[in-house]
């Protein structure tokens, strides 16, 4: 992905799409469907949306998780406002560190007194890390999870 200084500027229509995505994500907490984008920006087909989205991804202005619906994220300065509940992006750096610390505490608690409910909660927490885009932390905790005996 390109950094903010080396990215090509979006076209007028692409800029309108980025603005719409930013506003939609701020209002709803998740990205719009391609059909919602099509209607909001008065495009004639969903394939037009797909072309613009693909071009914005290639330029580094958007990010999209594979095989995940409504996973468009605006990259860059406007992304800081994308998630008001967390203060930026999908998860800001401070929030990521806090969340990883909480998951680590849950693992330590389970190791002190293992039970099925706590183990189930660990799987949910690791899944949440992945959903939030904290793939490195999720991978590290997954390795730890696999060392636990499943009942």
Q: Give the model confidence (pLDDT) of 11-40 as tens digits.
A: 888 888 988 988 888 887 888 999 999 999
If one counts every other C-beta atom within 10 angstroms of the C-beta of residue 2, the result is 13
C-beta of residue 96 within 8 angstroms of C-beta of residue 134:
yes
C-beta of residue 99 within 8 angstroms of C-beta of residue 129:
yes
Given its phi and psi angles, is residue 133 left (phi above 0), alpha (psi -120 to 50 degrees) or beta? left
CA 17 to chain centre: 18
Buried-exposed string 19-43: b where 16+ CB fall within 10 A, e elsewhere: ebbbbbbeeeeebbebeebbebeeb
Could you tell me the two tokens for 127? 């899944």
Q: What is the mean pLDDT of the chain?
A: 80
Of 4-13, 21-30, 83-92, 138-147, give the lowest mean pLDDT range.
83-92
C-beta of residue 95 within 8 angstroms of C-beta of residue 103:
no
What's the confidence (pLDDT) of residue 92? 61
Q: What angle do CA 70, 51, 64 make, to 5 degrees?
A: 30
């Amino acid at each position: 992905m390109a950094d903010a200084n080396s990215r090509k500027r979006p076209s007028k229509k692409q800029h309108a799409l980025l603005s719409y995505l930013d506003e939609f994500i701020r209002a709803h907490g998740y990205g719009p469907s391609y059909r919602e984008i099509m209607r909001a920006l008065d495009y004639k087909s969903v394939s037009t949306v797909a072309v613009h989205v693909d071009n914005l991804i290639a330029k580094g202005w958007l990010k999209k998780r594979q095989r995940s619906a409504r996973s468009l994220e605006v990259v860059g300065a406007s992304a800081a406002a994308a998630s008001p509940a967390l203060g930026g992006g999908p998860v800001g750096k401070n929030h990521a560190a806090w969340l990883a610390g909480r998951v680590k505490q849950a693992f330590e608690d389970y190791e002190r007194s293992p039970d099925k409910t706590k183990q189930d909660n660990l799987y949910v927490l690791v899944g949440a890390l992945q959903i939030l885009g904290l793939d490195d932390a999720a991978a590290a905790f997954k390795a730890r999870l696999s060392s636990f005996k499943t009942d």
